[in-house]
Amino acid sequence: MRRRSTPAAAIIRYTLLTLGAVAMLLPFLDMAIGALRTPAELLSRPLVYWPRDPSWHNFARVFSELPMLRWLFNSAVVTLCITAIQLVTSTMAGFALAKYRFRGKALLIRLVLAAQILPFFLLVVPIFLVIRFWPLAGGNDVLGQGGTGFLDSYLALILPFAVSWYGIFLMRQFMLAVPDELLDAARIDGASELRILLRIVVPLVTPALVTLGMFIFIYQWNEIIWTMTVTRASPDLQTVPVGIYLLRGAFDDVAQQGLQQAAIVVSTAPVLLLFLVLQRFYLRGAVSSGLTG
């Protein structure tokens, strides 16, 4: 029989949760306050934590002195495209591995698990060469010579992330919980496999799709290694994280820290907004998958 929570236990639990939430929010709060400090307050000793005269114009400078709109546009295009593509590939592959029986299925599942061990930076050079020497792209001939391939294009930023091994495994685990009898009944009624996937399976695993979509969006929004590799010669394709990273080198001055922190606040806002909008689905997916412990 389940014990009822005593008032003292409930107070302790909510106090700990509140302290944890405050600890998580402190870095964001410090970043936002730092963006409001004037250069004099940043250079003063002892350090002035709370700005006496908030410097709101730092946020205006982000858009007037930096190509922030272009960075945000590039980040949105690349991140949304990768998120959509990975959701499609993860859903289809996860459905096949969860509900179909075929030779080599166990080996494929093991390969999916093993592929997650490899860090992405180990594959940067091979992927770059594939993108660079892609046949009949960017002026290349049939042998991949003579041009730049998919470099200097959005495809160079999107194609390497078209498949997520983690996404495939996560969707497979969720789809294992979908009753096979439900799918068999739909097949008896004459439904095609695509219709079964879209009309029956996808609605049942929507919380998982939203959870996976948030993971993909956050990771890709902050991805910097590959993006910096292929946009060195293409400033027009730079995303927000790359722009801010290069901003640190261009404005290596304490007096410009307010501008840098304002740029970080602006870059973080879309991710926070997405989480607030989709948190209901995310929590359902986290509870279903056991991510919350």
pLDDT digits (tens, 9 = 90+) for 173-205: 999 988 999 999 999 989 899 999 999 999 989
Cis geometry, peptide bond prior to residue 46 (ω within 30 degrees of 0): yes
Tokens of 202: 């996808």
Q: pLDDT digit string (tens) for 213-222?
A: 989 999 999 9
How far is 61 from 258, CA to CA, in rounded Å?
A: 10
Domain 36-289: CATH class, spelled out: mainly alpha
pLDDT recorded at residue 245: 84
Break the chain into its structural domains and give their ranges: 36-289
User: What is the arithmetic mean of pLDDT over 83-111?
Assistant: 93
Flag whether pLDDT at 278 surpasses 90.
no
Q: pLDDT digit string (tens) for 127-163?
A: 999 998 988 888 888 888 888 888 888 999 999 999 9
How far is 71 from 51, CA to CA, in rounded Å?
A: 28
pLDDT recorded at residue 283: 58
Tell the residue number behind the tokens 């394709």, with chain if given.
237
Cis geometry, peptide bond prior to residue 51 (ω within 30 degrees of 0): no
| Cα separations in angstroms, 250 against 63, 107, 221 | 16, 49, 22
